[in-house]
Each structure stands twice: as structure tokens, then as C-alpha cells.
């Protein structure tokens, strides 16, 4: 893939990349923690949205503020902040989703000396008659607060342009996922992970071009691919997946990951923003209608039904559920999902992961055993 090295470099050296981008473009860098952040408003402010994924370094500074039974994502992001490694950030945005992110927000406000701090107090229940108005009001306030922090006027025109950009990005990633679902050998799971992760870090205008060219390249390659019926097609599901080395382990065991339900994967790009005139209510509409995370509430079985639909649509044989250790919302969701999968006759494997992930041999054996059963 022509642009893979550029995507990989962005992921490998994301902080250097952000520092360079800031220096060259003069753009303010706004960090965020969760896929419920309205990137469009940050882009419309002329700033650069950058998702943080925690650290692979040893976590010790964060331990003085957070219990060790918080997920490694939240502890890792705090570690990056306390260590000063991300002091290039001009501000941080915290959408109120799970309890851990909300507590991270409080600790950040009181302990991190650089950049502004903004909370985004989203509605918890997303399917009530008042949720649309409430969500739109929260986004309006965010637009005002962000404009004030960055000292810019965020115009409707800039919002319309940002929506076109994010829709183009989401559409390209969706097309890449679909091509790969039809031809799993088109690119490896690890490479796909790299593309999606880079998409949450790199300059979005450059990204639109790179993704469009990647789609063209993969479409041409897909035309030459032969169908491989020996692969065991599976769906990955869970909260966030921060572990690219899981993909080759599954693929080497004979599996093909044909879709996912991660907030660092498909939940990031599902749902386009509708056509229309009022940008705020259109962004609100997407946040309400996208595939829900268990830190928000719609109904008891919506997510399970979504995963069952994915299994059928993508012709998958089973689901591997990756649960980040100490992630309460996904742990509470799992029994309902498992029950629905059992009723639908879909095999599920649950794997609790943390940083560092268990030894490769141990995981390999578990993946092989599950895939053999399918």
C-alpha cells in the first residue's frame, strides 16, 4: 500500500508529528479522549483534533492520582499529561462518557499546567424526546467555549466545511473496511489498524487525500484478488483496541477479521452526518444515532443486535470480544451481549486484555482453540 509508511510513521511518532504540524501550520492542537468528541467543531475552529491512546511506557506518575483498578487507557493518558510528553497540546476535551474519563477530566483540570480544559457534558440517555435538543445545546456551548479558548469565531461556513471533511474520511474508511471484508487478504488487520489509528492523529486535509488514493489503490487490487474460502471469518468487538499485535496472532491462526465494533475502529466512522442546513443539529444527530457505546444508554439489546447483524452481513462465524481490564461499561455490557449471541447460536470468545498483553504463546493457543471450534 503506497501510503502505509506515512500512516505508520504518524502512529509510531505521533507526538513528534503533532509538534511538527503545529510548527509548520501554526494550528493549535486539541487533544481528546473518546470517540464521542465532535471533531468537526475543533476542525471548524481551525485547530487540529488529536486522539490520545495512553502510553506503552511504565505508568507511575498517574498512580498517585488514580486507583490501579482504572483502565490502562485512562491511566496512560494521565501519565502522558503528568510527564509533560504532550505539553504541545493547546487544550484537552473530555466528553462525559464513562466514570473513568469523567474522573480523568477532574484530575486533569487540577494537575495539568498546560492548555485549556473543556468538558462536554453529553446526555446519558440518547433516545428520549429531549435528547436531541439537549445534545444540540451541549454542542452549542462547546462551540462557544472552544471559540473563546482559541480566540476564534467558529462560523457556520467553517462547520459545513469540516462536516464535508469528516464525512469524506468516514466514507473512505468505510469503503476500505468493506473491500477488506470481501477480500480479507487485501491488507493485514495490523495495517488496517494503522490506517484507522493514523486517521485520528494526522492532519485531516492531508488524510482526505491519502485515504481517497488508498481506496483507489485497494479497489484496483481487489479486482485481482481470488476468494479464499479457507479463512475463518470473525468479528472483533469491545471497547478500544490498542493492541495491533493481536491481529497477526488471529490471522496466523487461520482467522480473518472481517469487521469490528471498536471505538478505535468501526464505531469511529459509522454514521455519516446528514445533509442539511444547521450544522449543530446535524452533528448532534450523528452522535445520537451512531452505534452506541455502553457508557451511553439507548436500550438493552441494541448493541448485541448490531453485532449479530454484523455477523450475518459479513458472513462471519464467530465473535472475539476484547475487554480492556477494568473497563466497567463494557464488562457490564458483556453478559447481555453473550446471552444474545448464545440465543443466536454465534460462538463468542472473551479475552480480557491489559498493557502489556499476555505472552504471545498463551494468546495464540487460545485463538487457535477458538478458531478450531468454528
Residues of this chain that bind ligand SF4 (CB under 6 A): 34-36, 71, 73-74, 97-98, 100-101, 239-240, 263, 293, 295, 324, 327-330
Given the DSSP bridges, would you call strands 48-51 and 232-238 parallel, antiparallel or unpaired?
A: unpaired
17 vs 53, beta carbon nearer ligand SF4:
53
29 vs 240, beta carbon nearer ligand SF4:
240
71 vs 348, beta carbon nearer ligand SF4:
71
Minimum distance of ligand SF4 from residue 279's CB (angstroms): 22
Minimum distance of ligand SF4 from residue 152's CB (angstroms): 26
183 vs 197, beta carbon nearer ligand SF4:
197
Minimum distance of ligand SF4 from residue 326's CB (angstroms): 7
123 vs 184, beta carbon nearer ligand SF4:
123
- Give me the long-range contacts of 277-283 (CB less than 8 A, separation at least 24): 279/40, 279/44, 279/156, 279/159, 279/160, 279/163, 280/136, 280/139, 280/140, 280/143, 280/159, 281/132, 281/136, 282/163, 283/38, 283/40, 283/41, 283/139, 283/159, 283/163
Minimum distance of ligand SF4 from residue 40's CB (angstroms): 16
Minimum distance of ligand SF4 from residue 148's CB (angstroms): 25
21 vs 34, beta carbon nearer ligand SF4:
34
32 vs 370, beta carbon nearer ligand SF4:
32
Minimum distance of ligand SF4 from residue 293's CB (angstroms): 3
Cell of 150: 482559541
250 vs 323, beta carbon nearer ligand SF4:
323
Determine the Cα–Cα distance for residues 319 and 350; give it in Å rounded to an integer: 9
35 vs 172, beta carbon nearer ligand SF4:
35
Determine the Cα–Cα distance for residues 207 and 245; give it in Å rounded to an integer: 24
Amino acid at each position: 500500500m503506497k501510503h502505509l509508511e506515512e500512516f505508520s510513521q504518524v502512529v509510531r511518532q505521533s507526538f513528534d508529528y503533532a509538534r511538527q504540524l503545529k510548527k509548520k501550520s501554526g494550528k493549535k492542537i486539541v487533544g481528546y479522549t473518546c470517540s464521542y468528541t465532535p471533531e468537526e467543531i475543533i476542525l471548524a475552529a481551525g485547530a487540529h483534533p488529536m486522539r490520545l491512546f495512553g502510553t506503552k511506557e511504565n505508568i507511575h506518575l498517574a498512580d498517585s492520582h488514580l486507583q490501579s483498578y482504572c483502565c490502562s487507557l485512562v491511566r496512560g493518558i494521565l501519565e502522558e499529561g503528568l510527564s509533560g510528553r504532550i505539553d504541545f497540546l493547546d487544550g484537552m476535551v473530555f466528553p462525559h462518557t464513562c466514570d473513568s474519563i469523567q474522573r480523568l477530566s477532574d484530575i486533569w483540570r487540577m494537575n495539568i499546567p498546560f492548555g485549556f480544559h473543556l468538558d462536554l457534558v453529553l446526555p446519558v440517555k440518547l433516545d428520549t424526546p429531549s435528547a436531541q435538543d439537549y445534545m444540540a445545546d451541549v454542542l452549542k456551548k462547546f462551540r462557544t467555549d472552544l471559540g473563546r479558548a482559541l480566540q476564534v469565531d467558529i462560523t457556520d461556513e467553517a462547520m459545513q466545511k469540516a462536516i464535508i471533511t469528516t464525512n469524506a474520511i468516514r466514507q473512505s474508511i468505510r469503503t476500505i473496511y468493506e473491500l477488506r471484508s470481501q477480500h480479507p487478504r487485501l491488507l493485514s488487520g495490523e495495517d488496517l489498524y494503522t490506517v484507522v489509528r493514523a486517521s485520528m492523529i494526522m492532519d485531516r486535509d492531508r488524510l482526505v487525500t491519502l485515504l481517497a488514493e488508498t481506496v483507489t489503490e485497494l479497489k484496483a487490487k481487489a479486482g485481482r484478488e481470488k476468494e479464499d474460502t479457507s479463512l475463518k471469518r470473525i468479528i472483533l468487538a469491545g471497547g478500544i483496541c490498542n493492541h495491533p499485535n493481536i491481529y497477526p496472532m488471529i490471522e496466523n491462526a487461520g482467522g480473518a477479521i472481517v469487521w469490528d465494533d471498536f471505538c478505535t475502529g468501526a464505531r469511529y466512522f459509522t454514521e455519516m452526518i446528514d445533509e442539511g442546513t444547521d450544522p449543530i443539529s446535524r452533528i448532534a444527530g450523528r452522535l445520537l444515532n451512531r452505534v452506541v457505546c455502553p457508557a451511553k444508554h439507548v436500550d438493552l439489546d441494541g448493541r448485541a443486535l448490531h453485532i449479530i447483524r454484523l455477523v450475518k452481513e459479513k458472513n462471519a462465524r464467530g465473535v472475539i470480544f476484547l475487554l480492556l481490564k477494568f473497563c466497567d461499561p463494557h464488562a457490564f455490557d458483556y453478559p447481555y451481549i453473550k446471552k444474545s449471541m448464545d440465543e443466536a447460536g454465534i460462538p463468542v470468545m472473551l479475552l480480557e486484555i491489559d498493557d502489556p498483553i499476555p505472552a504471545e504463546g498463551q494468546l495464540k493457543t487460545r485463538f487457535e482453540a477458538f478458531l478450531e471450534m468454528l
